[in-house]
Chain A
Amino acid sequence: MGTLSVRGITKKYGSLTAIDHLDFDVHDGEFFVILGPSGAGKTTTLKSVAGLVDMEEGSVAVNGIDLTMVEPYHRNIAMAFESYALYPNKTVRQNLASPLKSGRTGHYSADEIEQRILTVTKTLGIDQLLDRFPREVSNGQRQRTALGRVLIRPADIYLLDEPLSHLDAKLRATMRAELKAIAQNSNTTTIYVTHDYQEALALADRIAVLRHGKFVQIGTPVEIWREPIDSFVAKSLGQPEINLIDAVVANGRITALAGAIDIPKPDGLSEGKVRLGLRPSELVPGVQVPGHVQIKGTVRISERLGRDIELEVSVGDGHLIVVTDSSKAVAERDDVVLSIDVPQIHVFAGGDPGQDTARLGSAQQISPVTKEVEQ
């Protein structure tokens, strides 16, 4: 158990700034997820907290005690590495016992160590591998061993770097649930790094979205999903990605896709260029709900996604991606009408293609204060 407060940490590799003045606090017992694409600085952030990199600036404190200049082995912080970092010359059992035998995580009898190993490996489903060497087990099993080496020991803060990334889809979902159960039951303080938005949504108390070494937004899963601060955050969550289409605000209306979308502009939205964000799962084909925006188009591609289907619908001079139930039986080249509830249409500031812009609000209501987006 512990509270973490991080102030202004900065790490450069040559001319490249990996993380740039990051500030954040993680509360006692909180599950804090850092979400970001590869190269955003996620691992560097964790290693800075653990004391494994020499930071240029900033401080790290746990329970109010400044650890910035403290060696990693005095910090009482546990970390699971994405590369597993299992000792190749030790068996799974010896790897798991390692943190308990150093003398700095408490003192354990041989029986206690064995007991802990059994408990942890049962949960992780690797209890039959104890006497194998890391090279003799699969990547997924290695990753679970690495996770086990962290979960087995007491620590103030647990740092997990993409701990599920090397598991196959099925096992990943199972282990995600196990982790959530562990987190719910044990009240540990955890920082979890991932590029998978579903892991973030499933596990997090709060999510911090990281890009180019800076936090773009920190908030609860619901906040991040419903009110993404900019188009980058909106794109980071959801698969397929949110549809972002250029639109024009003029004469009191927002128009896009060669007039296929034509809706009244909400109060407070000034005239000019904007971008609309429509999530594929919010666009419903075939059902005409009164009050919803109707968009006419033609199905160009229909692809099966399990029970759902993914449609690429040509609309005006562009196209929209739509995810819907396969029972809707929409075929390629069919004409469809898509409907979406007005508050579900996100409005972002206009910008060049590839440039991320701030969210202004929804097509229903413009946010009173537009928060400034760090660039």
Chain B
Amino acid sequence: MAKELMPGQKRVTTGGILGDLALVGWFAFSLFPVLWMFLLALKTPAEQTTTFFQFSPTLDNFITVLTDRGRTLTGVDFKSAILLSVLNCAGAVLVSLVIGIPAAYAAGRFKFKGSDSLMFNILSFRFAPELMVIIPVFVIFNRIGLFDTPVGMIWVLQLVTMPLVVWILRSYFQDMPEELEQAALLDGYTRKRAFLMVALPLVRPGIAASALLSFIFAWNNYMFPLILTNAGSITVTITKFLGGGGQAYYNLTAAAGVLGALPPFILALTIQRYLVQGLSFGAVKG
């Protein structure tokens, strides 16, 4: 619904038109590369470097990257990379939830010694340069055989997913009035039953939001699979189509890019309401 105007206010003003023009300008800039990638993904190999906006569109590239045809042609196994990424990211999120929910509950509900410093430490991982941890992990993984394994990836992805889960859920638990659980205790329910009956259902949106958002971030992560795997991940694999030294497949790169960008975007749309809270680690309530 349009905003109610105050008396003496005009609906159409010069400033308003200029503002709209500025918005159009931004969104042209913002959407053009996505559009361009999409167009490129629809081009034939012959057209990929020779045309700009006029070409005969085809869905061939998507089929190529998803089937053995692509692997034979380019040596890049995109399909396995997708499956591996799904496995690693889902695993990482699951582990984070199982471990993170109790911790978030403790941090949000109780004021205990070290709760603040624990939280600051968890947050500081969000800001730590990844390599500081990844270099030693690389050495350790090589030594104990976790290099290029899902277990290893799920383990290090905790660096991405855990802080997000704990921070977002903590703010949910903090916002939930303590008296709800207290009422359940007086109704005769134990602390565990009160948690399951009252607290958990109320933070369900938070769990969904933090799970999806941390999945997106794990999915989009580049450095961990780059260093700690050979098989790679969706992000690492996409760059391989550019063929470091060998032949470059721009149209296939674009097709893979579209496929890789689709899941996060769809997930993001489903949690749009909670996105702001998630992106700011609960510092800004959406």
Q: How far is the CA of A149 from the CA of B180 in the complex (A)?
A: 13
Interface contact A72-B202, CB-CB below 8 Å: no
For B177, list chain A residues within 8 Å (CB). 83, 85
For B185, list chain A residues within 8 Å (CB). 51-52, 71-73
Question: Residue B198 at the A interface, CB < 8 A?
Answer: yes
**With A52-B185, A71-B185, A72-B185 as contacts: A85 and B190 at CB distance below 8 Å:** no
Q: How far is the CA of A79 from the CA of B190 in the complex (A)?
A: 16
**With A87-B198, A89-B201, A89-B202 as contacts: A78 and B186 at CB distance below 8 Å:** yes
Q: How far is the CA of A153 from the CA of B188 in the complex (A)?
A: 11
Q: How far is the CA of A105 from the CA of B179 in the complex (A)?
A: 20
Interface contact B188-A103, CB-CB below 8 Å: yes
Question: Residue B189 at the A interface, CB < 8 A?
Answer: yes
Identify which of residues 71-116 in chain A touch chain B, using a CB-to-CB cut-off of 8 Å: 71-73, 75, 77-79, 81, 83, 85-89, 98-99, 102-105
Identify which of residues 169-222 in chain B touch chain A, using a CB-to-CB cut-off of 8 Å: 177, 179-180, 182-191, 193, 197-198, 201-202
Interface contact B179-A85, CB-CB below 8 Å: yes
Count of B interface residues, CB-CB < 8 Å: 18
Q: What total of A-B pairs shows CB separation below 8 Å?
A: 62
For A99, list chain B residues within 8 Å (CB). 186-188
**With A81-B179, A83-B177, A83-B179 as contacts: A88 and B202 at CB distance below 8 Å:** yes
Residue of A at shortest CB range from B179? Answer: A85
Interface contact B189-A73, CB-CB below 8 Å: yes
Query: For chain A, which range describes its interface: under 10, 10 to 19, 20 to 34, or 35 or more residues?
Result: 20 to 34
Interface contact A102-B179, CB-CB below 8 Å: no
Interface contact A87-B188, CB-CB below 8 Å: no
Interface contact B179-A73, CB-CB below 8 Å: no
Q: Which of A72, A83, A89 contacts B186 (CB 8 A)?
A: A72
Q: How far is the CA of A73 from the CA of B180 in the complex (A)?
A: 14
Q: How far is the CA of A83 from the CA of B189 in the complex (A)?
A: 20
Question: Residue A50 at the B interface, CB < 8 A?
Answer: yes
Interface contact A81-B182, CB-CB below 8 Å: yes
Q: How far is the CA of A51 from the CA of B182 in the complex (A)?
A: 9
Q: How far is the CA of A47 from the CA of B185 in the complex (A)?
A: 12
Nearest Cβ distance between residue A191 and chain B, in whole angstroms? 13
Identify which of residues 48-64 in chain A touch chain B, using a CB-to-CB cut-off of 8 Å: 50-52
Nearest Cβ distance between residue A324 and chain B, in whole angstroms? 44
Interface contact B183-A81, CB-CB below 8 Å: yes
**With A89-B201, A89-B202 as contacts: A77 and B179 at CB distance below 8 Å:** no
Identify which of residues 256-288 in chain A touch chain B, using a CB-to-CB cut-off of 8 Å: none
**With A52-B185, A85-B183, A98-B184 as contacts: A73 and B198 at CB distance below 8 Å:** no
Residue of B at shortest CB range from A77? Answer: B186
Residue of B at shortest CB range from A78? Answer: B186
Interface contact A73-B201, CB-CB below 8 Å: no
For B188, list chain A residues within 8 Å (CB). 73, 99, 102-105
Nearest Cβ distance between residue A198 and chain B, in whole angstroms? 26
Interface contact B180-A79, CB-CB below 8 Å: no
For A102, list chain B residues within 8 Å (CB). 187-189, 193
B180, B182, B187, B189: residue with the most chain A Cβ atoms closer than 10 Å: B187
For A75, list chain B residues within 8 Å (CB). 186
For A51, list chain B residues within 8 Å (CB). 185
For B180, list chain A residues within 8 Å (CB). 85, 87-88
For A73, list chain B residues within 8 Å (CB). 185-190
Q: How far is the CA of A149 from the CA of B190 in the complex (A)?
A: 18
Q: How far is the CA of A312 from the CA of B147 in the complex (A)?
A: 87
Q: How far is the CA of A49 from the CA of B183 in the complex (A)?
A: 14
For A98, list chain B residues within 8 Å (CB). 184, 187
Residue of A at shortest CB range from B189? Answer: A102
**With A85-B180, A87-B180 as contacts: A79 and B186 at CB distance below 8 Å:** yes
Nearest Cβ distance between residue B195 and chain A, in whole angstroms? 13
Q: Which of B182, B197, B198, B201 contacts A72 (CB 8 A)?
A: B182
Nearest Cβ distance between residue B193 and chain A, in whole angstroms? 8
Q: How far is the CA of A191 from the CA of B179 in the complex (A)?
A: 18
Nearest Cβ distance between residue B24 and chain A, in whole angstroms? 40
Q: How far is the CA of A97 from the CA of B193 in the complex (A)?
A: 16
For A104, list chain B residues within 8 Å (CB). 188-189
Residue of A at shortest CB range from B204? Answer: A89
Nearest Cβ distance between residue A60 and chain B, in whole angstroms? 14
Residue of B at shortest CB range from A153? Answer: B187
Q: What does the 1/0 interface line of A149-171 toward B look like (CB < 8 Å)? A: 10001000000000000000000
Q: Which of B182, B189, B197 contacts A85 (CB 8 A)?
A: B182
Nearest Cβ distance between residue A15 and chain B, in whole angstroms? 14
Q: How far is the CA of A266 from the CA of B197 in the complex (A)?
A: 65
For A71, list chain B residues within 8 Å (CB). 185, 190-191
Residue of B at shortest CB range from A81? Answer: B179
Q: How far is the CA of A135 from the CA of B182 in the complex (A)?
A: 19
Q: How far is the CA of A105 from the CA of B184 in the complex (A)?
A: 12
Residue of A at shortest CB range from B185? Answer: A72
Identify which of residues 35-56 in chain B touch chain A, using a CB-to-CB cut-off of 8 Å: none
Q: What does the 1/0 interface line of A134-155 toward B look like (CB < 8 Å)? A: 0000000000000001000100
For B198, list chain A residues within 8 Å (CB). 87
Q: How far is the CA of A136 from the CA of B184 in the complex (A)?
A: 21
For B187, list chain A residues within 8 Å (CB). 73, 98-99, 102, 105, 149, 153
Inter-chain pairs besides A73-B186, A81-B183, 13 sampled, C-beta below 8 Å: A52-B182, A72-B186, A73-B188, A77-B186, A79-B182, A79-B183, A79-B186, A81-B179, A87-B184, A87-B197, A99-B186, A99-B187, A104-B189
Name 5 interchain pairs, CB-CB below 8 A, sorted by A.
Answer: A85-B179, A85-B180, A88-B180, A102-B188, A149-B183
Closest 10 CB pairs of A and B: A104-B188, A102-B188, A85-B179, A85-B183, A99-B187, A72-B185, A52-B182, A81-B179, A89-B201, A98-B187
